[in-house]
Amino acid sequence: MAKRTDKAKWIWIAAECHRLDSYLRARRTFTLAGVPSEARLRVTAFSEYVLYVNGRYVGCGPTPSSARAPLLDVYTAEDLPLRRGRNVIAVLAHNYYVGLPRLPRLPAGLWLQLDATYANGKAERLGTDRRWRLALAEDFSRRAPRVYWTTGFTEVRDTRREPQGWTEVGFNDRRWAKADEVRHALPEGFPPQKVREQTAPRLTETFVVPSRLASSGWAKWQMGMTAIPFEFAVPNPAHGEFYAGTFVRSHRRQKARFIFDCDEAAAVYFNNRQVIRQGYSEQFVHWLQDEEHDHYTGIHRGQGHRTESADVALGTGWNSVGIVIYDPGRSWGFAVRFEDARTGKTLPLEFSPDLKAADWVDWQIIIDQLCPCGKGALPEVPTPNERTFPDPAYQLAWEERTPTRRAPPGAAALAAGGRGKGPLRLRDGERVTYDFGDERVGHVELDVEGAPGAILDVAWGEGLGADGCVEPVRGGMRQVDR
């Protein structure tokens, strides 16, 4: 522990302070001469934190407040499992770096201070400084879709990449980076920043189980959809544009509606004719105060629009599709499908850049780092499926769902009343929907076991459809975590 006069500093990895949707882990080990008779741990972050002490979850926050005077959440000795000898404080911190209502776009930062007093009156202090160890949380996707302009991003996470035991004292963090002390300029016109304690009691967290099992069944990927996940196909674009080309096969002449979803400025060509061109729209900004404006240049990633569409005429045989995206580094990717203009059902069409039936490749792509001539110039992008599709929200909005009369084993045990025995066991492609009865504010907590590589999608919404499945507002707003 440090001298009592030391004060906590704002810390982060300096090079990551201005990155969208950034997750970071922070740790600090320390030694206590005994169990403190009194302790106060104060913490806040831009934008969120989850706090652990000696491997145990303590709380999350911060309390919503102004960037001019961030509120500190306060935890006392009763909340903290401190012990004599070596201890560790571990924090998972997250920064949106987008403007939200009542919260301007701010660079990332974590502030924490522990004050401990022993029975003999001796006091010690530990605060965030350069002695903390930090690591980017690489198990969280950096290309997750934004939910809506009033909120942040969905959570797409590969738990296989989480450092095992990182909240425990014995974890080896020697390869983690030393923390940077960061000082960020506030938006123009802001007074000097001053942190202050939250005076109201913290909200109590309680577990709430669903009131009933609403439905169960199967969900599968429909033929006739295709996509490119930039996280895998264009992982580190330096600059420039992105081009993708393919052909779509129709067995007859027919009218169709071409559906295109991308969160960056783009143009779409069908049979060598431009049919869609989307740019940045600021129709929503009249809702915002001056300091709340979002400088992030995504299009409908923050504006609620899900897709652009164009009515096209499919000719018999192969039809060309070309896509240009102007800044792939700011996009999670794109997805397309053709649907019947009258029924809205997806047409089961085939895609191939080489005009081959049953081709496993859907697209060929070019980015500015690649020359369109020579070996390896046109990378091939395989056909997407439930395991590779870039945006899990489409599992909810575009999936094909079939009901079953018999729920999977353990499904009823998770609802109120706990009929039957758990745990819930889901097979590949199987789904369940639970109804909480009332609107709830909180986060989902599940204990999950499965084979390596298994994928779990957790969707939420404000209501249920006629089929007993989740029905989000705005026709499938991105309300799915993976």
List strands edge to edge, sheet with 212-220: 400-403, 212-220, 430-435
What domains are defined for the chain?
Answer: 11-197 (2.60.120.260), 206-220+386-482 (no CATH), 222-384 (2.60.120)
Looking at residue 399, the DSSP 8-state letter turns out to be -
Tens digits of residue pLDDT in 111-137: 999 999 999 999 999 999 999 999 999
Composition of the chain by helix, strand, coil, percent to 5: 5, 35, 60
In angstroms, how far is the first alpha carbon of the chain from the final one?
39
Residue 324 CB partners (closer than 8 Å, separation 6+): 241, 242, 243, 266, 267, 268, 269
The span from the CA of 341 to the CA of 338, in Å, is 9
> In the predicted model, is pLDDT for residue 412 greater than 80?
yes
* 3-state class (DSSP) for residue 341: coil
| Whole-Å CA distances, 186 to 21, 67, 191, 291, 296 | 19, 8, 8, 10, 17
Q: What is the pLDDT of residue 69?
A: 80
The span from the CA of 43 to the CA of 31, in Å, is 20
Summarize the confidence of residues 403-421 as an average pLDDT. Answer: 88
> In the predicted model, is pLDDT for residue 244 greater than 70?
yes
> In the predicted model, is pLDDT for residue 365 greater than 80?
yes
Q: What is the pLDDT of residue 373?
A: 44
The span from the CA of 435 to the CA of 422, in Å, is 18
> In the predicted model, is pLDDT for residue 5 greater than 60?
no
> In the predicted model, is pLDDT for residue 297 greater than 50?
no
Q: What is the pLDDT of residue 477?
A: 52
CB 177 within 8 A of CB 134: yes
Tens digits of residue pLDDT in 271-286: 999 999 887 555 555 5
Give the type of residue at 291: E
Tens digits of residue pLDDT in 49-70: 999 999 999 999 997 777 778 8
Lowest mean pLDDT among 87-101, 192-206, 286-300, 303-317: 286-300
The span from the CA of 76 to the CA of 425, in Å, is 39
CB 331 within 8 A of CB 230: yes
In the chain, % of residues over pLDDT 70: 84
User: Would you say the C-alpha torsion 361, 363, 369, 371 has a positive or negative sign?
Assistant: positive
> In the predicted model, is pLDDT for residue 199 greater than 50?
yes
Output phi, psi for 126, to 5 deg: -130, 130
The span from the CA of 117 to the CA of 15, in Å, is 36
Residue 49 burial (CB count, 10 A): 22
Output phi, psi for 311, to 5 deg: -80, 130
Q: What is the pLDDT of residue 303?
A: 47
Tens digits of residue pLDDT in 451-475: 888 888 888 888 888 888 887 665 5
> In the predicted model, is pLDDT for residue 239 greater than 90?
no
Compute the mean pLDDT over every residue in the chain, rounded to the nearest whole number: 85
CB 319 within 8 A of CB 258: no
Summarize the confidence of residues 438-442 as an average pLDDT. Answer: 83
Structure tokens at 356: 């081959």
Q: What is the pLDDT of residue 193?
A: 73
Q: How many CA atoms lie within 13 A of 117 on its CB side?
A: 7
Tens digits of residue pLDDT in 213-236: 999 999 888 888 888 878 777 766
Most confident of 123-127, 304-308, 433-437: 123-127
Q: What is the pLDDT of residue 370?
A: 52
Q: What is the pLDDT of residue 145?
A: 76
Most confident of 33-42, 382-391, 394-403: 33-42
Q: What is the pLDDT of residue 136?
A: 98
Give the type of residue at 194: K
* 3-state class (DSSP) for residue 263: coil
